[in-house]
Amino acid sequence: MMEWVERMNGAVNYIEERLLEKLDYTEAARWACCSAYHFQRMFSFITGVSLAEYIRRRRLTLAAFELQHSEIKVLDLALKYGYESPEAFTRAFSNLHGVTPTAARLTGTSLKAYPRMTFHMSIKGAAEMKYRMEELGPFRIVGLSERVNTEQAFRVIPQIWATAQNQGVFERLWQIRAEGDFMGGILGVCANGEFGENEEFDYLLSVKSDQDPPEDMVSFDYPACTWAVFDAPGGPEGIQEIWSRLYTEWVPSSVYDLAYLPAVENYLPPEEGRNELWIPVVKRGQVELVGDSD
């Protein structure tokens, strides 16, 4: 667990040392030995704030310090902290601090300071996590794909499912399932070629299939991989609970790292009363062996 703490603090150090630059989320994630997609999700689940919001708060905290302790112009400060115009900087500054940059210079003005984040080891795990390990060869998933903004994912993805249900998509997917499908459910997969390196990703509503995708669908091919498969209570809330515990409890204490491959949310038929979260993993220290192009 100490090794995991050191990795996360290394990622934060990378971010803090480059707050005045255009940050490379992929490089920050390498410090944590996971993909940018997993790093952003892990950061959010652990801290309760998105990575983008943390960076925004830290930049505006430093900007407030400069306003109070230097004669720097608002225009120069806006450019220094990555804003395209003084107006954009003023809006962001006012939304966070509740006052304009000009008012922030006045003695007695109340401002907000967000200190840099540091990860520490804590003891968790009073409740059991039911999981199994699977070694699988290559397989394909086929389904509908929609581009989703990372920051809007928790709002947009439920809408994708609701629309799919109303339009009979599930029935179509069920018809192209592979025989002997070992997953047995409708799959939600956050996938793109960079595995989360961008601010957007492709969300696939899919099934395991041996067929070529129909004209309006796409496919994604998984290589042979080791999977950690977690039982989750029925419903989307159960999956989200397992995601949170995966990042905060299982990964820090296990002997595995998250592989550079998309995870699979496996929504089983309602009569099952449960769902599954499939996580591609590699033995700790070997994360670059899967999906890493370097």
pLDDT, tens only, 185-198: 999 998 764 544 56
Provide mean pLDDT across the span 225-248.
88
pLDDT in tens, 7-27: 899 999 999 999 999 888 889
The residue that leads in pLDDT, 256 or 287, is 256
Count Cβ atoms within 10 A of the Cβ of residue 282 and give its class: 0-12 exposed, 13-18 middle, 19 or more buried.
Answer: buried
Q: Which pLDDT score is estimated for 292?
A: 42
Q: Is the pLDDT of residue 125 over 70?
A: no
Q: Which of 114-123, 186-195, 199-208, 246-255 has the lowest mean pLDDT?
A: 186-195
Q: pLDDT band for 201, please (50, 70, 90 cuts).
A: confident
List the domains of the chain with CATH numbers. Answer: 2-104 (1.10.10.60), 131-289 (3.20.80.10)
pTM equals: 0.79
The residue that leads in pLDDT, 264 or 286, is 264
Provide mean pLDDT across the span 100-129.
83
pLDDT in tens, 139-195: 999 999 998 877 777 788 889 999 998 999 999 999 999 988 889 999 999 876 454
Task: Kindly state the tokens that stand for 186.
Answer: 């409708």
User: What DSSP assignment string belongs to the chain?
Assistant: -HHHHHHHHHHHHHHHTTTTS---HHHHHHHTTS-HHHHHHHHHHHHSS-HHHHHHHHHHHHHHHHHHHS---HHHHHHHTT-SSHHHHHHHHHHHHSS-HHHHTSTT------PPP---------S---EEEEEE--EEEEEEEEEEEGGGHHHHHHHHHHHHHHTTHHHHHHHTPPTT-SS-SEEEEEE-TTSS-SSEEEEEEEEE-SSPPPTT-EEEEEPSEEEEEEEEESSHHHHHHHHHHIIIIIHHHSSEEE-SS--EEEE--GGG-EEEEEEEEEETT-GGGTT---
